[in-house]
Structure 1
């Protein structure tokens, strides 16, 4: 099987025996998925592809089982676009694997892989450049215990929405890390007019129904909806986002799956779009769907969100999503539902709604 991604093409030409190694934060690549070793990824879709091929794959938030052959002989870290996320993976590996474990770090030059030299030096880890090709670089070092706990990467910040305050938890790699995305803010400003019922001020009105937050990120939509009586299911393909949402709910007194003020709320799941939701339907689906995959544009998850939404909406249920104004979602909404309306448009973002007949 030939490697397709540049980083894997660089690795494929090495003389190393990678059997039993960990592939950490790997891209989708048939050379990896048909090879040896174990994937460790926060991306559910990557883990699912490996598992479908009969290969072991784990989330960093799972308890890592002891391999029958002992600890891995080495690990390869694919340096992500987010430099802070790469640093977290490095700290996590230092805390997880034995001292002296060989580590290779690979990535595209445009993605900042050369900056790992300074990161490793700051941690007291030696490093040498191993190879370069396909506009990628490969470095190698050995793991050691460092003084920084990986959990130090978790941060929290406060968002003010009118007279309401929400405390959000965030982590590198989570959408909108450390700030409220402008599109999500526009969506939150729009939702009261279409989801909430009852009189009085906005915070006293309630939405008594089942809501799906697709792509929950740091959990701001879940917390906002749960405070208003919605029974919320939140999903994200990113394990960091799922953990961030759970921490956000805890920070706002909404933690736990079960009854909160006599309302069932706060189910948070890893799901590749609707993969964990077979047979389930909701009164509303809300989303600020992603369209970036590293530096490329990928409409796949948003397309599936729209195309499969009808099967997960009850009669009269609403799909409400916010998107950059330039994205070609109107045509897809038209094909999937036969029509749509624009609830808000600030020239940068639009909030769309469709209602299932």
Structure 2
């Protein structure tokens, strides 16, 4: 089976025995998913794909840890601070001397890995480059930095929010979310079950729970799920936090309201897929009279999706950058 993505195509051409290796934060690629390695990832879509093939797949936030591998390949993410966190996690948990390879797209900043590894005192050599990607090799060692140090917190809307590299709105409140919060009191029920779709750092979930609503939060990003759990604890409020792709895992659940600042970026490309699924599938998860309330960049084509799905919708706010939409399920 041939690799599908450029980074995996670069790896496939190596004269290396990757059997049993640990693939860390990789993209979806049938060559990996059909191979003999193990997965470590925070992306629920990738985790679900591996598990659907009965392949060993692990989350860094789960209690079960992967067996010690003969080597590790880290797929360098766009968020460099997140890549640094993965390095610290691996150095802290795997044996000293474990072979490490780091691969990524040149356009995604993979060449910065040389400086990152040098700052951690890890040697590094370039192995190969092709398909506008580069592969480096090193070995894991103890670096004396706790990966938990990457977790920070900040205050917004009277809430203490947990923050981590790679989570939407890292270290600050997104302006679209701020606009959404200004309008929510006018359209939410005084009681009932509410879903925060794409919970990020948990600001919406904590805000909803603080108002006494029975709150469920879901995100495909395991780092966001962990951030939301920490945010709820920090604010002494309760809520259910789940890892899932849009409504995956919520098939039989109905809510009185769904609120969201849905993602549309997938790495460097614009992706309407998750938001489109959110809008199209929302009626099946709303009770009669329940509302979908979301905020989005003003240029995104959500009005057409909302009208096709709900028949009509309201624009609650428009500051030319962001719009807040509300649609009611009859």
Q: Give the structure-1-normalised TM-score.
A: 0.91
Unaligned runs of 5+ in 1: 197-206, 255-264
Residues 149, 65 of structure 1: CA spacing in aligned structure 2 closer, same or farther, 3 A cutoff? closer
Question: Which residue of the partner structure matches residue 208 of structure 2?
Answer: 225
Q: Distance in 2 between matches of 1:58 and 1:168?
A: 26
Q: Distance in 1 between matches of 2:65 and 2:88?
A: 19
What SS class does the counterpart of residue 191 from structure 1 fall into?
A: helix
Alignment of 1:167 onto 2:160: yes
Kept in 1, the 8 Å contact 2:58–2:65? The answer is: no
Kept in 1, the 8 Å contact 2:220–2:246? The answer is: yes
Question: Which residue of the partner structure matches residue 13 of structure 1?
Answer: 13
Question: Which residue of the partner structure matches residue 4 of structure 2?
Answer: 4
Please list the CA deviations of residues 285-305 of structure 1 after superposition, one character each: whole Å capped at 9, or x if unmatched: 000000111111111111111
Bigger mean CA deviation after superposition, 187-196 or 126-135: 187-196
Kept in 1, the 8 Å contact 2:40–2:60? The answer is: yes
Q: Distance in 1 between matches of 2:108 and 2:244?
A: 27
Alignment of 1:191 onto 2:188: no
Residue 66 of structure 1: how far off its partner (Å): 6.0
Greater than 3 Å deviation, 4+ residue runs: 64-67
Question: Which residue of the partner structure matches residue 224 of structure 2?
Answer: 241
Please list the CA deviations of residues 22-76 of structure 1 after superposition, one character each: whole Å capped at 9, or x if unmatched: 0000001111111111111100000001111221111111133464xxx210010
Kept in 1, the 8 Å contact 2:5–2:29? The answer is: yes
Alignment of 1:57 onto 2:95: no
Residue 129 of structure 1: how far off its partner (Å): 0.4
What SS class does the counterpart of residue 312 from structure 2 fall into?
A: coil
Q: Distance in 2 between matches of 1:350 and 1:38?
A: 42
Kept in 1, the 8 Å contact 2:279–2:305? The answer is: yes
**In the TM superposition, what are the counterparts of 1:246-261 in structure 2 within 5 Å?**
246-254=229-237
Residues 65, 168 of structure 1: CA spacing in aligned structure 2 closer, same or farther, 3 A cutoff? closer
> Given the alignment, which residue of 155, 172, 188 partners 1:179?
172
Q: Distance in 2 between matches of 1:100 and 1:63?
A: 24
Question: Which residue of the partner structure matches residue 319 of structure 1?
Answer: 292
Please list the CA deviations of residues 206-229 of structure 1 after superposition, one character each: whole Å capped at 9, or x if unmatched: x21110000000010111111111
Aligned length: 330
Please list the CA deviations of residues 95-121 of structure 1 after superposition, one character each: whole Å capped at 9, or x if unmatched: 111000000000001111111111111
Q: Distance in 1 between matches of 2:54 and 2:233?
A: 36
Q: Distance in 2 between matches of 1:66 and 1:215?
A: 27
Alignment of 1:77 onto 2:61: no
Please list the CA deviations of residues 143-192 of structure 1 after superposition, one character each: whole Å capped at 9, or x if unmatched: 00111000000000011x3xxx1110000010010000010000000101
Unaligned runs of 5+ in 2: none
Please list the CA deviations of residues 253-288 of structure 1 after superposition, one character each: whole Å capped at 9, or x if unmatched: 21xxxxxxxxxx401111111111120000000000
What SS class does the counterpart of residue 223 from structure 2 fall into?
A: helix
Question: Which residue of the partner structure matches residue 341 of structure 1?
Answer: 314
Q: Give the structure-2-normalised TM-score.
A: 0.98
What SS class does the counterpart of residue 54 from structure 1 fall into?
A: coil
**In the TM superposition, what are the counterparts of 1:94-243 in structure 2 within 5 Å?**
94-159=91-156, 161=157, 165-195=158-188, 207-243=190-226
